[in-house]
C-alpha cells in the first residue's frame, strides 16, 4: 500500500496508491462481502448434513424422498464466486499520499514547520490505520480457511451418508448424482476457496509487514527531524519610523552551516550585516550593521537592530539603535 519511503521529503513518496485503503477508512470491501457469504454457505452446509440424515430416516420409514441437486449446484456457485472475490482482492501497500506531501522548504521554514509536522504525523497515523486494516483482513481470511476446513468435515459426513443412500437399490439412481456433485464439484470448489484464502492471506501479511517498516521509518525520521531548528531565512519586507522620518528596506536572510548572514537593501543603497544572531527558542534576532554608503545621512554610524519574532514566525518587530547618535527607530518586518 504506498511507494517505499526513501526520504521523508520525496516529492512522491514510495508510499502511495491503489485501493484507497486509508482514504476510505476501509479495506477490501469486496472480499468482506464474500467472507460473509462464506459464513452463510458454511452454516448451510451443516444443515445439509441434517438433510441427508433425514433422507436416510425417511427411507427407513417409507416416506417420500426429495433430491436436492440444485442445492449443491447453488453451493458450488457460491464457493466459486467467493474464490473469484478472494483472488480479485487487491493487495498493494500503496495509497494516495497527496494530502501528506511536504517539501523540504516547508519543513525547514519556521512559519510552515507546524503544519508540515502535522501532515507527516497524519501520515504516520494513516499508515497505522492501514496496518490495522491489513491485520483485520488477514484475520477474516484466516476465518475463511478455518470455516472451509470445518465445511470439509461436514462434507465427509455427507459423503458417508450418501454412500449409504446409494446402496439402497430403489433410491440409488435418485441420489447418485447428488453424491457425485458433493464428492467432486462441492469438495473441489471448497478446496479452491481454501487455497485462494491461504495464498491471499500470505500476501496480505507480507504487505502488512511492509507497512510496518514504512511506518517505523517515517515515525523515526520525523522524531529526529522535529528536534532540528527551523529557519527564518528568506526575504523580509521592512519599514522603519522615528525622529519624524520613515522609510522602507528589504532584509534578505540566508542560512548557512556557520549560521545566518544578511543583506539590507535601502532605496539609496545596500549593506551587508556585520553580525547577526538568531535565537529561535527565544524568538529573538540581533543584527549589527555599518552605515549605508553615501548619499546616506548616517555618516559612518553603526546601528544595532533588536528584533522579536512573532509566534507564527511571519513578522519581526523591534528597535534600531544608532550607537554614536543615540537615535532609536522602530522597525516592522513581514516575511514574504
Task: Write down the pLDDT at residue 24.
Answer: 32
HEC-encoded secondary structure of the chain: CCCCCCCCCCCCCCCCCCCCHHHHCCCCHHHHHHHHHHHHHHHHHHHHHHHHHHHHHHHHCCCCCCCCHHHHHHHHHHHHHHHHHHHCCCCCCCCCCHHHCCCHHHHHEHHHHHHHHHHHHHHHHHHHHHHHHHHHHHHHHHHHHHHHHHHHHHHHHHHHHHHHHCCCHHHHHHHHHHHHHHHHHHHHHHHHHHHHHHHHHHHHHHHHHHHHHHHHHHHHHHHHHCCCCCECCEEEEEEEEECCEEEEEEEEEEEECCEEEEEEEECCEEEEEEEEEEECCCCEEEEEECCCCCCCCCCCCCEEEEEEECCCCCEEEEEEEECCCCCEEEEEEEEC
Check: CB of residue 179 under 8 Å from CB of residue 99: no
Q: What CA–CA distance (Å, rounded) separates 209 from 225?
A: 24
What does the longest C-alpha to C-alpha distance in the chain come to?
125
* pLDDT attached to residue 22: 29
For the question of whether the overall pTM of this predicted structure is more than 0.75, the answer is no
CA distance 160 to 52: 10
pLDDT value, residue 181: 78
Cell digits for 150?
470445518
Question: 282: Cβ–Cβ under 8 A, 6 or more apart, which residues?
Answer: none
- Extract the residue ranges of the chain whose pLDDT is less than 50: 1-32, 34-35, 38-39
CA distance 226 to 117: 8
Burial 157-169 (b: 16+ CB within 10 A, else e): ebeebbeebbeee
Strand 259-266 vs strand 245-256: parallel, antiparallel, or unpaired? antiparallel
Bridge partners, residue 260, by sequence: 255
Amino acid at each position: 500500500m504506498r511507494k517505499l519511503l526513501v526520504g521523508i521529503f520525496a516529492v512522491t513518496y514510495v508510499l502511495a496508491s491503489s485501493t484507497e485503503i486509508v482514504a476510505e477508512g476501509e479495506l477490501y470491501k469486496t472480499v468482506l462481502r464474500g467472507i460473509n457469504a462464506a459464513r452463510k454457505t458454511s452454516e448451510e452446509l451443516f444443515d445439509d448434513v441434517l438433510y441427508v440424515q433425514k433422507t436416510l430416516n425417511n427411507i427407513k420409514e417409507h416416506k417420500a424422498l426429495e433430491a436436492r441437486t440444485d442445492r449443491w449446484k447453488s453451493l458450488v456457485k457460491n464457493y466459486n464466486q467467493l474464490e473469484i472475490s478472494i483472488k480479485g482482492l487487491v493487495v498493494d501497500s500503496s495509497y494516495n499520499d497527496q494530502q501528506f506531501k511536504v517539501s523540504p522548504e516547508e519543513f525547514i521554514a519556521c512559519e510552515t514547520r507546524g503544519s508540515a509536522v502535522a501532515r507527516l504525523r497524519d501520515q504516520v497515523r494513516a499508515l497505522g490505520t492501514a496496518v490495522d486494516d491489513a491485520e483485520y483482513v488477514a484475520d477474516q481470511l484466516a476465518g475463511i480457511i478455518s470455516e472451509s476446513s470445518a465445511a470439509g468435515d461436514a462434507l465427509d459426513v455427507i459423503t458417508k451418508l450418501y454412500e449409504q443412500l446409494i446402496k439402497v437399490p430403489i433410491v440409488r439412481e435418485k441420489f447418485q448424482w447428488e453424491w457425485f456433485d458433493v464428492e467432486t464439484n462441492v469438495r473441489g470448489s471448497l478446496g479452491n476457496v481454501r487455497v485462494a484464502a491461504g495464498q491471499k492471506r500470505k500476501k496480505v501479511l507480507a504487505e502488512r509487514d511492509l507497512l510496518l517498516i514504512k511506518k517505523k521509518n517515517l515515525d523515526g525520521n520525523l522524531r529526529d527531524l522535529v528536534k532540528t531548528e527551523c529557519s527564518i531565512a528568506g526575504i523580509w519586507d521592512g519599514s522603519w519610523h522615528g525622529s519624524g522620518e520613515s522609510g522602507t528596506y528589504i532584509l534578505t536572510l540566508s542560512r548557512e552551516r556557520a549560521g545566518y548572514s544578511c543583506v539590507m537593501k535601502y532605496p539609496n543603497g545596500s549593506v551587508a550585516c556585520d553580525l547577526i544572531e538568531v535565537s529561535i527558542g527565544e524568538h529573538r534576532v540581533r543584527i549589527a550593521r555599518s552605515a549605508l554608503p553615501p548619499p546616506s545621512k548616517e555618516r559612518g554610524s553603526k546601528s544595532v537592530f533588536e528584533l522579536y519574532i512573532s509566534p507564527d514566525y511571519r513578522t519581526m518587530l523591534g528597535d534600531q539603535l544608532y550607537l554614536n547618535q543615540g537615535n532609536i527607530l522602530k522597525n516592522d518586518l513581514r516575511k514574504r
